[in-house]
Amino acid sequence: MARRWSRPVVIALAAIGVFVLALVGVSAIFVSSVAQRFDQGTEKIVEAFPDATMRPPEPTGQAASAQNILLLGTDSRADLDSIDDAAGQRSDTIMVAHIPADRHGITVMSIMRDSWVDISGHGMAKVNAALSYGGVPLAVQTVESLIGARIDHVAIFDFKGFVGLTDAVGGVDIDNPTEFESYHLRGMTFPQGRLHLDGSQALAFARERYAFVDGDYTRVRNQQAFIAALLDKVLSSDTAVNPGRVSSILESITPYLKVDAGFTSGYVAGLAVELREVRRENITFFTMPTNGTGTSDDGQSIVLVDWARLDQVRAGFASDTLDAAAFAE
């Protein structure tokens, strides 16, 4: 029974660690305790979704059983206590985790934070400004307009939580393609090749953009590599059968996490059963198609959306046939 609960749930949202509560110990009492601590420890987003009239139509057919979960990451400079109002806040990391109706895998799409898009009521702006302009509902509405499909759940996480999470699993192993000197962790150089990183190092690795010619493009790829490495550690048998480690993971996450009202331990547990056959190799990543960088009329450095290829992404969401390989760059 332990294996049925441990792997799938973590896989489902391990991209941000929010499903680690479903890592099971050796008894039902421990499972109940973890679920209770998750529900009590995670703050709820008071208003998570826009008015129904501002959203895409309800999905039908096979797509009606799929799930789209919006993951918003804030930099460690942000304060999650004010995330409902989001005055002045911007989301530094934006991902959509698509869980298909057949529950045979998970596709995670990253959205470049400087993508130049239309934000309802505000005109063209960087996509991460939606959170600042109108809080979580406007962020959801903006992403829904991009993917042409409804978001079912929202999770907001502060990257500071990854420090404790990474340390709780004993660090992560990442294949770094390019040597660079860290801006955020002064004096730290990340050499090319296989690296073992602790929490602080992993956070600096995932946040870096100044060291790269293509800035956020490499930053997004490094974030995806970090998430994949974290997945490998969280899904390891050493973690799954260790109640103490599961507790440490949970404690490292909940202070830095906010979810919508429906994102409960019960929802996660149900998804766990449905995803029991999913493994790490069934999780794929890609970045929303773009056409490089440019400059807005008011002089901002922006990322240009590839609208033609985005139509293909929308079709994938609408028909529940999203294929990361088709959009890999």
Instruction: Map out the domains of the chain with their CATH numbers.
Output: 2-164+221-320 (3.40.630.190), 165-220 (no CATH)
Which token pair is 259?
């979810």
Assign 284 to helix, strand or coil: strand
φ and ψ of 158, to 5 deg: -95, 130
pLDDT digits (tens, 9 = 90+) for 258-289: 899 998 877 877 776 777 777 777 888 899 99
> What is the pTM for the complete model shown?
0.83
Closest by Cα among 274, 254, 197, 289 to 34: 254
Distance between alpha carbon 145 and the CA centroid of its chain, in Å? 18
φ and ψ of 199, to 5 deg: -60, -50
By the 10 Å C-beta count (0-12 exposed, 13-18 middle, 19+ buried), 52 is classed as exposed
pLDDT digits (tens, 9 = 90+) for 34-87: 677 778 778 899 899 999 999 999 998 888 999 999 988 875 444 444 444 444
Assign 295 to helix, strand or coil: strand
By the 10 Å C-beta count (0-12 exposed, 13-18 middle, 19+ buried), 128 is classed as buried
Of 219 and 232, which is predicted with more confidence? Answer: 219
**Which of 9-13, 153-157, 296-300, 320-324 has the largest mean confidence?**
296-300
Mean pLDDT across the chain: 80
CA distance 74 to 72: 7
CA distance 101 to 59: 12
Assign 2 to helix, strand or coil: helix
What pLDDT sits at residue 23?
Answer: 35
Average pLDDT estimate for 290-309: 95
